């Protein structure tokens, strides 16, 4: 089996303010291979986006990586100085941001922003870079690309802006793309179009895709494997069909019963009680314990390790086998 395109080992991120110290990512590990899609799911505040920015090396000022490794094509990234890490972004590792309107500069045309990738990374002239930008816009399905290349981000719909973000991420043919909630602000029809586009580009380029989302419908449509995050940790990882069919963690099971399913319309939705913990106030023991129907005395003190409970299926729960058996 080929080596992973991206491997994250025991990643830890610390966030300091005057009053608190928080750990939004606390020992996260995963890998993804070329041509495959790993979905990372969980509620808001689980640490999904923070982990993505830690991998990219774009954490905001108060946050910093305090432990772990990020390996890309056999090279460890977290200890590289910024001058060496900057050229890797875009060329080998790219990110599709969640908010396309905020991510795009309102003062420059779309072609200028896409073309900038070619100018600064491949040394193309302004005219050649704009031609390459138009070709890429056409490739990601933006109609009348030559005319629209001269327009500004606010003149594009949400779905078209997201296509622009995908074009920018794919411009330099990276090995790994991290897509952070790429369909969260789009209607269902446009979501399907964007997912189809990502899938077709992935197959054509053989890239590895890390798909960050809270939408289990998107996961079922696009992922090969799923990693479930809670309070900065991985609590379950499995092939997508296995996870939907037989979850092995109470949090995953609760997520699945809290969303409507077309194959079980008669089932009543069951919201998860309580809220995810603040990164600065994670409870002792199992972080899901205050919301878990299976919690016992052991869960108050012992943090469950992520362990294999079935072939290719891991869970961080003391009672994983009980959950797996339904």
Band of residue 101 on the pLDDT scale cut at 50, 70, 90: confident
Q: How many CA atoms lie within 13 A of 199 on its CB side?
A: 12
The whole-number pLDDT of residue 266 equals 58
The whole-number pLDDT of residue 313 equals 97
Across residues 26-50, what is the average pLDDT?
Answer: 95
Q: Is pLDDT above 80 for 116? A: yes
Band of residue 1 on the pLDDT scale cut at 50, 70, 90: low
Across residues 289-316, what is the average pLDDT?
Answer: 95
The more confidently predicted of residues 321 and 191 is 321
The whole-number pLDDT of residue 263 equals 60
Band of residue 178 on the pLDDT scale cut at 50, 70, 90: very high
Instruction: From 165, 175, 167, select the one nearest 207 (Cα to Cα).
Output: 175
The whole-number pLDDT of residue 107 equals 94
Burial class (CB in 10 A: 0-12, 13-18, 19+), 257: middle
- Residue 234's CB: how many other CB atoms inside 10 A? 25
The whole-number pLDDT of residue 214 equals 87
Across residues 192-203, what is the average pLDDT?
Answer: 87
Instruction: From 90, 139, 94, select the one nearest 116 (Cα to Cα).
Output: 90
The whole-number pLDDT of residue 262 equals 58
The whole-number pLDDT of residue 3 equals 84
Q: Is pLDDT above 70 for 21? A: yes
pTM of this prediction?
0.92
Which residues are CB-neighbours of 54 under 8 A, at least 6 positions away?
Answer: 11, 13, 25, 63, 65, 70, 78
Highest mean predicted confidence (pLDDT) among 17-21, 216-220, 297-301: 297-301
The whole-number pLDDT of residue 267 equals 62
- Which pair of structure tokens corresponds to residue 252? 């995953």
What rounded mean pLDDT belongs to the chain? 91
- As a whole number of Å, the end-to-end CA separation of the chain is 33
The whole-number pLDDT of residue 261 equals 62
Give the DSSP per-residue string, 42-81.
Answer: --TTSSHHHHHHHHHT---TTEEEEEEEEEETTEE-TTS-
| Whole-Å CA distances, 226 to 22, 134, 298 | 25, 35, 27
Q: Is pLDDT above 60 for 303? A: yes
| Alpha carbons 89 and 290: distance in angstroms, whole number | 39
The more confidently predicted of residues 13 and 18 is 13
- Residue 46's CB: how many other CB atoms inside 10 A? 26
Across residues 157-185, what is the average pLDDT?
Answer: 89
| Alpha carbons 123 and 105: distance in angstroms, whole number | 21
Across residues 180-199, what is the average pLDDT?
Answer: 84
| Alpha carbons 21 and 15: distance in angstroms, whole number | 6
- Which pair of structure tokens corresponds to residue 141? 């399905």
| Alpha carbons 196 and 141: distance in angstroms, whole number | 11
């Amino acid at each position: 089996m080929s080596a992973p395109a991206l491997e994250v080992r025991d990643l830890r991120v610390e966030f300091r303010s005057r009053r608190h110290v928080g750990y939004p990512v606390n020992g996260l590990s995963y890998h993804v291979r070329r041509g495959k899609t790993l979905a990372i799911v969980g509620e808001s505040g689980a640490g999904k986006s923070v982990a993505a920015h830690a991998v990219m090396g774009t954490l905001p000022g108060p946050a910093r990586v305090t432990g772990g490794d990020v390996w890309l094509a056999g090279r460890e990234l977290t200890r590289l100085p910024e001058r060496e890490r900057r050229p890797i972004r875009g060329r080998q590792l790219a990110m599709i941001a969640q908010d396309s309107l905020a991510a795009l500069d309102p003062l420059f045309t779309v072609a200028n922003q896409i073309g900038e990738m070619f100018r600064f990374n491949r040394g193309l002239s302004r005219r050649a870079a704009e031609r390459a930008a138009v070709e890429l816009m056409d490739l990601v399905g933006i109609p009348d690309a030559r005319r629209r290349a001269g327009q500004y981000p606010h003149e594009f719909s949400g779905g078209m802006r997201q296509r622009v973000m995908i074009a920018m991420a794919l411009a330099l043919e990276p090995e790994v793309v991290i897509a952070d909630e790429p369909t969260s602000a789009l209607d269902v029809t446009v979501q399907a179009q964007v997912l189809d586009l990502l899938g077709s580009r992935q197959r054509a380029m053989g890239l590895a895709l890390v798909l960050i989302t809270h939408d289990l419908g998107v996961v079922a449509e696009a992922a090969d494997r799923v990693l479930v995050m809670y309070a900065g940790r991985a609590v379950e990882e499995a092939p997508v069909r296995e996870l939907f069919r037989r979850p092995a963690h109470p949090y995953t099971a609760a997520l699945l019963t809290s969303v409507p399913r077309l194959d079980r319309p008669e089932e009543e939705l069951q919201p998860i009680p309580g809220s995810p913990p603040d990164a600065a106030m994670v409870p002792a023991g199992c972080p899901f314990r205050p919301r878990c129907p299976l919690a016992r005395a052991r869960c108050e003190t012992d943090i469950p390790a992520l362990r294999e409970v079935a072939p290719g299926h891991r869970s961080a729960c003391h009672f994983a086998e009980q959950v797996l058996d339904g």
